[in-house]
Amino acid sequence: METDQKQKRSLRGERFFRWRGRDVSRVENLSDIVFALSLTLIVASAVPASFAELQALWREFIAVGVCFALVLLIWSKHHAYFRRYDLEDGTTLFLNSAVLFLIMVFAYPLKFLATFLVTFFTRGYTSGEQIGAVMTFEQTGMMVTIYAAGYAAVFGLFALLYAHALRRADVLELSEPEKEMTRLEVRQGVAAVVISMAAIALAWIFPAHLTPFAGGVYFLIGPVMAWLSSRARKRAETYEAAGGAVS
């Protein structure tokens, strides 16, 4: 019986969430258009004029894959938010609009960064002359600052969106497991902001030739998010076992 209930919850949403959003709203339609346009801008490139240029496209394929993965991650968080809460109030519309604006603004810069990094690690920009064709080492500190600020802004806005949903918990009739998983999204957003601020600080502390490695702090994202998720799921399971399961 318990297994059947879990399967039913899984079919209509997630284990710890009852999806409140069923129909795709106009807000989501607009959002999907923006995401699709951003992906188009990322994928778009000049047609190869020779076979040698065609062979060199493998680096661009990798760069596009990295961009696609990041945009898909943001889209999945966006999709889950509207399925979970189905909020369309003024605060949600404002924060959602800010997220969409940042996605549009960072489409080309994201493609530039991904292409640069793939080329950097596969071709070997080791000297000032080589990297100078794209940027100088003195400019990498500003580059890290710009991208880290953009990353922090996007996931900081998601933290605000989920914090807003948490404030509407009574109206939304969120169960205790749902509240805990909502808090998880807020904590993960805050963690993304903190890690981004650390990257910016390191970019300005490190000597010019080491500033590209300031972005290495983002390798903490995976372990930190997994740790926060593990703790939240254990608490949600405790609430569920105590009778706070989603109805």
Task: Give tens-digit pLDDT for 89-102.
Answer: 999 999 999 999 99
pLDDT of residue 99: 93
Instruction: Looking at the structure, tell me whether residues 139 and 247 fall in a common domain.
Output: yes
How distant, in Å, are the alpha carbons of 39, 90, 110, 125 from that of 66?
11, 33, 9, 20
Domain final position from 81, 100, 124: 124
Domain final position from 124, 143, 167: 124
Percentage of the chain beyond pLDDT 70 is 80
pLDDT tens digits, one per residue of 18-52? 888 777 777 887 788 888 888 787 777 656 666 66
Residue with tokens 């999709």: 79
pTM of the entire predicted model: 0.80
Q: How many structural domains does the chain have?
A: 2
Is the confidence at residue 54, as pLDDT, over 70?
Answer: no
Is the confidence at residue 136, as pLDDT, over 90?
Answer: no
48-64: b or e for each residue (b if 16 or more CB lie within 10 Å)? Answer: eeeeeeeeeeeebebbb
Give the pLDDT band of residue 4 (cuts 50, 70, 90): very low
Per the structure, the complete domain to which residue 209 belongs is given by 135-247
Please count the other Cβ atoms lying within 10 Å of the Cβ belonging to residue 12.
12
Does some domain include residue 5? no
Instruction: Looking at the structure, tell me whether residues 59 and 114 fall in a common domain.
Output: yes
Instruction: Looking at the structure, tell me whether residues 141 and 120 fall in a common domain.
Output: no
Let me know: does 106 contact 150? Beta carbons within 8 Å.
yes
Give the pLDDT band of residue 11 (cuts 50, 70, 90): very low
Q: Write out the two tokens for 29.
A: 């339609």
Instruction: Looking at the structure, tell me whether residues 142 and 186 fall in a common domain.
Output: yes
Instruction: Looking at the structure, tell me whether residues 220 and 113 fall in a common domain.
Output: no
Residue with tokens 């409140």: 20
- Which SS3 state, helix, strand or coil, does residue 14 take? strand
How many CA atoms, within 13 angstroms, populate the side-chain half-sphere of residue 191? 19
Domain final position from 124, 155, 175: 124
Instruction: Looking at the structure, tell me whether residues 144 and 47 fall in a common domain.
Output: no
Does some domain include residue 11? no
Does some domain include residue 4? no
Does some domain include residue 63? yes
Does some domain include residue 129? no
pLDDT of residue 188: 95
Is the confidence at residue 225, as pLDDT, over 60?
Answer: yes
For 216, residues 6+ apart whose C-beta sits below 8 A from its C-beta are none
Does some domain include residue 18? no
Mean local confidence (pLDDT), 233-239: 90
